Amino acid sequence: MTSSLTHGWRLLRWGRTLGRHGALRGIEADGNAPAIVRRMARLARFGTATPAVPDYARAFEAIGPAAIKLGQALATRPDLIGEAAAQDLTRLQDALPPLPFAVIEAALVEAYAGPWQQHFISIDPVPVGAASIAQVHRGVTTDGRTVAIKVLRPGIEAAFAEAIETYEWAAAKVEAQGGEALRLRPRAVIASFKAWTLAELDLRREAASASELAEAMQGEPGFLVPEVDWARTTRRVLAIDWIDGVKMSDRAAVAALGLDGRVLAATLVRSFLRQAIAQGFFHADMHQGNLFVLRDGRVGVVDFGIMGRLDRRARVYLAQIIHGLLTGDYIRVAEIHFEAGYVPAHHNVGEFATALRAVGEPIRGLDARDISISNLLDGLFGITRSFDMAVQPHLLLLQKTMVMVEGVALTLDPKVNMWQVAEPFVRDWMREELGPEARLADSLVANFRSLRQLPRVFRQLIAKVPVEGAAPPMAPEPEPVPEVHVRARVVLHWWVALATAVAGIALGAALVAH
């Protein structure tokens, strides 16, 4: 087990790097940060030449691969690190110099326990992408299909395990300070980050996520999820169909396709809503580099390492909240927050509804391009602080992805209004899931499940209360003696003992006298 001294040294070393990029100023100035954290930030920054404007993204890139991934996770938590830092971390590019192809070849031979030529006719030695965890090459399988081949970097598991152990240690220390740190749940942040990275470090998990998302999106023909080549996929190698399209980050190439940007934007938004609300399983890293436009107008997606999941109850609450904000029904939105347990019960529903109105009314009816996401998030996080709301990591991941999707949609159609695209989808889904037919179906399912439990309940009842004659009669228990009789017997025993003693003394005296 790693010692506290080792954890402290790692944090100091990383802190010095953050300090040189001015990334610790926000912590030092934050009155809500625990005092010990502010002192450590000052200590780590001491003696460094800090720039006038903090460069959070470059700081995390300088620390290393695990920090790059952590920075991407923290970009979803402006409530935790501040809006300015979160916005700057969205620039974080998960890109590293590529490994030599000889290293990749050795990794493929190890993964396949034999020559890679048994699985592929050819592999382009020049990677199409090199990131902190893996790099991707284009290849052709022995049956003639073009695929993307993702290979883990050698030794990456040990490097991440070491860093995550220190992140967990530091998060526990910070959360133990209580107050605002406890409400923000830094340990939950690191737990979510750990789950993401564990999934990314086992490429079979990423393959399974891609397969599950493809099944979930069959009802959205305009959205393409590539098919996994399971025969050539291992823990350290992922083979998946190649998407022959244009990256959305290449705006000139997208425009050259001559497709309708409004249709593409609507497809993107609708696809995300189907994932998040209808299916409860969504791609949580839908930035422009992971999205492609195909010549037939479809939108394709790659990189399934970070996925989000919402159970049905959370999706129902989410749909009701979105619908309430769209329609201005703030009372119902407030009630949903209390019913879901997001707001502690000692707060007032009416006051919470008024706080929501203060955030929601200024944006109703505006185009997406006219809505300041910064101001919107600042208002929402102000509400969470005022009403002691514990942070819900799964909802923050969803929120980050929603903002990301909205930003990409705006590049396709500057006039897109995400709320207008969302409203009919959410309304129809709510009618299907919460309408009379849905409630009747839910009731029938619940009643059927209860009926299935009856045999077990009867067996338990018989075991506890056997039928008459099924067991030999028990010996009769003695009648309890009333408490008053018990006391009388005790007193009587005392009097008998006393009389016996007196009689004995008298008899002894008489014998002595004679």
Active-site residues, by number, are 285
Q: Which two tokens stand for residue 25?
A: 């100023």
Burial call 115-153: b when 16+ CB within 10 Å, e when fewer: ebeebbeebeeebebbbbbbbbbebbbeeebebbbbbbb
Distances from the Cα of 348 to the Cαs of 216, 318, 324, 391, 496, in angstroms?
39, 21, 18, 19, 71
Task: Kindly state the DSSP code that residue 184 receives in the 8-state scheme.
Answer: H
Helices marked H in 234-281: 251-256, 261-273
CA–CA distance, 207 with 212 (Å, rounded to integer): 9
Task: Kindly state the DSSP code that residue 239 receives in the 8-state scheme.
Answer: E
Dihedral pair phi/psi, residue 282, rounded to 5°: -135, 150
The three-state secondary structure class of 7 is helix
197 membership: H or E segment, kind and range: helix 186-200
CA–CA distance, 2 with 162 (Å, rounded to integer): 9
With 0-12 / 13-18 / 19 or more C-beta atoms within 10 angstroms meaning exposed / middle / buried, residue 211 is middle
CA–CA distance, 474 with 242 (Å, rounded to integer): 77
> Is 19 within 8 Å of 44 (Cβ atoms)?
yes
Task: Kindly state the DSSP code that residue 309 receives in the 8-state scheme.
Answer: E
With the CA atoms of 203, 205, 211 and 215 taken in that order, what torsion angle do they form, in degrees rounded to the nearest 10?
-160
301 membership: H or E segment, kind and range: strand 299-301
DSSP string covering 147-180: EEEEEEPTTHHHHHHHHHHHHHHHHHHHHTT-TH
Burial call 419-447: b when 16+ CB within 10 Å, e when fewer: bebbeebbeebbeebeeeeeeeeeeeeee
Helix axes 4-20, 56-63, angle to 10 degrees: 140
CA–CA distance, 105 with 211 (Å, rounded to integer): 26
Dihedral pair phi/psi, residue 293, rounded to 5°: -110, 125
> Is 330 within 8 Å of 324 (Cβ atoms)?
yes
The three-state secondary structure class of 39 is helix
